[in-house]
Amino acid sequence: MQQLSYISFDSVPAPKGAAVHIEAFARALGRSFGAIELVTVSETIPAKPRFERWPGVFHTELPAAGVSLIDRAFCFRGFLEHWLAGRSLEVVQFRSIFEAYPLLLRLRPRPKLIFEVNGLPSIELKHRYPRVADDRELMRKLVGQERTCLDAADRIVTPSVVTARHLETDCGADPAKIHVIPNGVDITLFRYATRAVEDLNLLYFGTLSSWQGVDTAVRAVAQIGARLTILGVGSNRQRESLLSLAAKLAARVEVLPPVDEAQVIEYLHRSFAVLAPLSLDDRNTKQGCCPLKILEAMAAGVPVIASDLPVVRELGEPGRHFLLVKPGSVDQIAQAILQLQADPDLRDRLRTKARAHVEANYTWERAGAALSKVWSTCLSTPG
């Protein structure tokens, strides 16, 4: 029987896009190959024993204890090395350098490796921990490990053309190994809203990381007196910063903890529009991303106002599937909200065309089939 594994330094399930993505991919692999070993971070100590999380997906959770990210990564790596001991795996898909090194150094014979690149620590960490940018030795090590993983991988999977271009042009990855598989949406779960919302109740959902530009959304709603609900995965410091800004501007802003997908849908259907004010920085323009919140809002029939960036333009046509504004422009976000308010026909066109576009191009079934094809090709290739 084939020994196949999907390993990620993430918690699953969890109320964030990465966990939704991992679940969708794991389910697709379980359906396609009969059985897959999913290994992720445990939220509890001791972790649960291995169990069947979804049909054909056998889940093992490993501890990642520690004060810092590096501490947690080394803890996870240690437990992963123990889990790998004595196993003979044919294909392993991994998502970052944090889980990759035990695969590269410990497994003999080495399995076929699929590197799923959604983010790179050499770019993302400095946005979360600003002092990292000044640590040249750490940055050198991060870049070195990323390139080692790219070189060792038999296949590279990424959700964005922008990311693929960065991996090829800036990181030296072999373009023949790169497969772009965009994120998807469960269109049954994210059902279409039967009617548009008239009140100016705006919604942001996702992480509170600096590259999301949530502070720009707060400033925009304050300018026109609209209301903004933020469902955010973030630290207390990030939440307090947004609430402090809202209080300073007398903005009607509510910052709530993240919720599960079923609750996200309810918030979507109560919202006039979704804001995705991505910042103009190297995380979004150089590394790239595939904003799940935009696709989910489009599927739910809620108009989207997003930053005009290549990673967003990949997902649809401006004026047809969403409205785009200059990144960082408070005035343009506010104007776009008022434009939607003044033009009900535009709102209806965006709603219906966006839903149809997602149904045709951005479902998890489509993404899962593309990933399974990559795995099948990898399994059938000698060497």
Selection from 79, 86, 66 nearest residue 39 by Cα? 79
Model confidence at 1: pLDDT above 60: no
Clarify whether residues 170 and 227 are in a common domain.
no
Looking at residue 130, the DSSP 8-state letter turns out to be: G
The average pLDDT across 339-357 equals 98
Asked if residue 16 lies in contact with residue 258, where contact means CB atoms within 8 angstroms, the answer is yes
**What tokens were used for 248?**
């300073």
Q: Is residue 207 part of a domain?
A: yes
CA distances from 335 to 85, 283, 325, 331 (A): 58, 26, 9, 6
User: What one-character-per-residue DSSP string does 270-323 give?
Assistant: T-SEEEE---SSHIIIII----HHHHHHHHTT--EEEE--HHHHTT--BTTTBE
For the chain, what is the mean pLDDT?
Answer: 95
Amino acid residing at 332: Q
Selection from 323, 318, 328 nearest residue 302 by Cα? 323
Clarify whether residues 12 and 65 are in a common domain.
yes
Clarify whether residues 124 and 237 are in a common domain.
no
Selection from 225, 335, 337, 318 nearest residue 272 by Cα? 337
When divided into structural domains, the chain yields a total of: 2
* pLDDT > 90 in the chain, percent: 88
pLDDT tier for residue 381 given thresholds of 50, 70 and 90: confident
Which residues, other chains included, contact 201 with Cβ-Cβ below 8 Å and sequence gap of 6+?
226, 227, 229, 270, 271, 272
pLDDT tier for residue 238 given thresholds of 50, 70 and 90: very high
**What tokens were used for 114?**
């699929």
The pLDDT value recorded for residue 294 is 98
pLDDT tier for residue 101 given thresholds of 50, 70 and 90: confident
pTM above 0.85, yes or no: yes
Clarify whether residues 158 and 273 are in a common domain.
no
Clarify whether residues 230 and 160 are in a common domain.
no
Q: Is residue 196 part of a domain?
A: no
Clarify whether residues 147 and 19 are in a common domain.
yes
Asked if residue 201 lies in contact with residue 270, where contact means CB atoms within 8 angstroms, the answer is yes
Q: Is residue 194 part of a domain?
A: no
The average pLDDT across 128-134 equals 82
The pLDDT value recorded for residue 368 is 98
Clarify whether residues 34 and 100 are in a common domain.
yes
Clarify whether residues 169 and 39 are in a common domain.
yes
pLDDT in tens, 12-65: 999 899 999 999 999 999 999 999 999 999 988 778 899 999 999 999 999 999
The average pLDDT across 226-233 equals 96
**What tokens were used for 313?**
């333009």
Q: Is residue 114 part of a domain?
A: yes
The average pLDDT across 251-257 equals 97
The pLDDT value recorded for residue 50 is 95
The average pLDDT across 259-274 equals 97
Highest mean pLDDT among 121-125, 131-135, 215-219: 215-219
Q: Is residue 342 part of a domain?
A: yes
Name the residue range of residue 315's domain. Answer: 201-361
* pLDDT > 70 in the chain, percent: 99
Q: Rounded distance, CA 214 to CA 76, Å?
A: 31
The average pLDDT across 160-176 equals 98
The whole-angstrom distance between residue 113's C-alpha and the CA centroid of its chain comes to: 21
The average pLDDT across 208-228 equals 97
Clarify whether residues 261 and 234 are in a common domain.
yes
Q: Rounded distance, CA 352 to CA 301, Å?
A: 6
Clarify whether residues 205 and 149 are in a common domain.
no
The whole-angstrom distance between residue 4's C-alpha and the CA centroid of its chain comes to: 23
CATH of the domain at 90: 3.40.50.2000
Q: Is residue 195 part of a domain?
A: no
Q: Is residue 189 part of a domain?
A: no
Model confidence at 102: pLDDT above 90: no
Clarify whether residues 243 and 98 are in a common domain.
no
| Residue of higher predicted confidence among 143 and 129 | 143
pLDDT in tens, 297-321: 999 999 999 999 999 999 999 999 9
Which residues, other chains included, contact 375 with Cβ-Cβ below 8 Å and sequence gap of 6+?
4, 29, 32, 33, 91, 93, 114
Clarify whether residues 32 and 178 are in a common domain.
yes
Q: Is residue 167 part of a domain?
A: yes
Q: Rounded distance, CA 92 to CA 124, Å?
A: 24
